[in-house]
Amino acid sequence: MEHPPFPRSRRLLVALAAAAALSAGCDDAGGENGRQPAQPAVAPPLLSQVELLPPRVDRSTVNRVVTRSPPKTPFIQTDLLQQSQGRVDILWVIDDSGSMANQRQTLGSNFRRFFDRLVQLQVNFQIGVISTNSSDGGFIRGTTRIITNNTPNPEDVFIDNTTFPASRARWEMGLRMMQIALSPPVINNQNAGLLRPDAALAVIVVSDEDDGSIGEAGYYARFLRGAKGKGNESLASFSAIAGTLPFGCTPPGEEIYWGSEADPAFRYSEVQLQTGGIFGSICDATFENTLIQIAEALNTLRRTFPLSVDPDPSTIQVTVNGAVVPKDPFLGWQYQADTRTVTFLGTYIPPPGASIVIKYAVKTS
């Protein structure tokens, strides 16, 4: 059964209603192109009230903080020092006159004490002998010309080198012969090998007459002081075993002989004084004390070593070649406050060339 068609007016109302429904039912979160933008629904924020309270101060008792100065750390000083090499070249200038025969024999018989003392002092030495006679030209005497620490039978060699044939030389020229022996061309030829560049130089004259060389004694003193080069004047010395001042002397046992008196050695004494040497009497019975004094004066090994700054004495430590040396007045060292030095006064002396380290805290007050 067919239904009758709607009237035209009714169909228009249906179409308008459908269009309105279609427009009203569109989703706000999405639409077709050409529609209005999406407007999502957003809930308003929820706000809560903020309470402002005054600050709270903890007024409970706290411990006091004590401020202290940092501990004092002492300043440590280390002084590095070097012992000398202990080298000495020794030139004996011996009067060859006949009146000196007994004295030369006395010298030879006591030479061993001189030699042994040098060895005890750890001196590295070389010894040569010349005469005061100008006819010998200042040449070193003997088959074994230079005596060293290692020379076999050194006493016998020295006696041979100081045993002279009888001489009647008019003038004894010890100072001039010393100068010739130590100067070119002799020192580079006949006397070659006697002088070492790093050694001290000691001249020892033995005579019963004063020097008869031409020229002032001061001239020869200046020559000797300059023999080791500028700045090394203290390395050269002149010692004498001669007639005492001001009147001379007579050797023991020779009083009955005419002309046995030893002349006062004014010129030798002047050179000795200007170079810091030793003076002994030719009239002594043995020369032993004088020879030992000369040997000890030739010891160039240092016993005293200065410190850089004032130390705390209780903190001083001394090592020699890496070994600790005790503080001992006889077997080690002592501190000398008046000179600010470490000194070896007993039997111990740092050996030649030794490395010495002195470590200490610096004095603060």
Encoded tokens for 192: 């070659």
In a domain, 179, yes or no: yes
Say yes or no: 124 and 243 in one domain: yes
CA distance 1 to 3: 7
User: If you search the block for the tokens 């010739």, which residue do you land on?
Assistant: 180
Same domain for 179 and 311, yes or no, is: no
**292 shares its domain with 306:** no
For residues 243 and 265, is the Cβ–Cβ distance under 8 A? yes
Judge whether 104 lies within some domain: yes
pLDDT at 32: 53
Rounded mean pLDDT, 162-168: 81
Residue 336 pLDDT > 90:
yes
pLDDT at 117: 93
pLDDT attached to residue 361: 95
What is the residue-wise DSSP string for 183-235?
STTGGGTTTTTS--TTSEEEEEEE-SS----SS-HHHHHHHHHTTT-TT-GGG
Give 305's strand partners. Answer: 342
> Is it the case that residue 326 has pLDDT exceeding 90?
yes
Across the chain, mean pLDDT equals: 88
Q: Tell me, yes or no, whether 138 and 266 share the same domain.
A: yes
Instruction: Let me know whether 243 and 106 are in one domain.
Output: yes
34: in domain: no
For the stretch 137-162, pLDDT in tens is 999 999 999 999 999 999 999 999 99
Specify the pLDDT at position 22: 52
Task: Please name the residues in contact with 274: beta carbons below 8 A apart, sequence gap of 6 or more.
Answer: 218, 221, 225, 238
pLDDT grade for 327, boundaries at 50, 70 and 90: very high
Pick the last residue of a domain from 297, 324, 346.
297
CA dihedral 230, 236, 240, 244 (to 10 degrees): 60
pLDDT higher at 169 or 146: 146
**What is the reported pLDDT for 260?**
75
Specify the pLDDT at position 12: 56
> Based on the domain organization, do 151 and 253 belong to the same domain?
yes
Domain boundary (280, 297, 314) is at 297
Question: Can you tell me the distance from the alpha carbon of 328 to that of 335, in angstroms, rounded to the nearest whole number?
Answer: 10
Look at residue 353 and tell me if it is in a domain: yes
> Which element (helix H / strand E) includes 178?
helix 174-181
Report the 10 Å Cβ neighbour count for 294.
24
pLDDT recorded at residue 61: 74
pLDDT of 259: 66
Is 0.75 surpassed by the pTM of this model?
no
Domain co-membership, 216 together with 332: no
Residue 150: CA count within 13 A, CB half-sphere: 0
**Residue 17 included in any domain:** no
Task: Please check whether residue 148 lies inside any domain of the structure.
Answer: yes
Q: What is the mean pLDDT of residues 44-55?
A: 81
Name which of 4-13, 88-97, 161-170, 351-360 the model is least confident about.
4-13
Is the residue at 56 inside a domain?
A: no
Residues 246 and 330 in one domain: no
Q: How many domains does the chain have?
A: 2
More confident call, 245 vs 5: 245
Q: Which residue has the tokens 């002149």?
A: 238
Percent of the chain with pLDDT over 90: 67
Query: What range does the domain containing 313 cover?
Result: 302-361
pLDDT in tens, 273-310: 999 999 999 999 999 999 999 999 998 889 999 999 99
Q: What is the rounded CA–CA span in Å between residue 174 and residue 272?
A: 13
pLDDT attached to residue 15: 58
Any domain includes 110: yes
Q: Which of 281, 297, 313 is the last residue of a domain?
A: 297
Chain center to CA of 58: 68
Note the pLDDT tens digit of each residue in 224-277: 999 999 989 999 999 999 999 999 999 887 766 766 799 999 999 999 999 999
At 69-101, the pLDDT tens digits run: 877 778 999 999 999 889 999 999 999 998 899
For residues 67 and 160, which has the higher predicted lDDT (pLDDT)?
160
Question: If we measure between CA atoms, which residue out of 227, 229, 319, 234 comes closest to residue 276?
Answer: 234
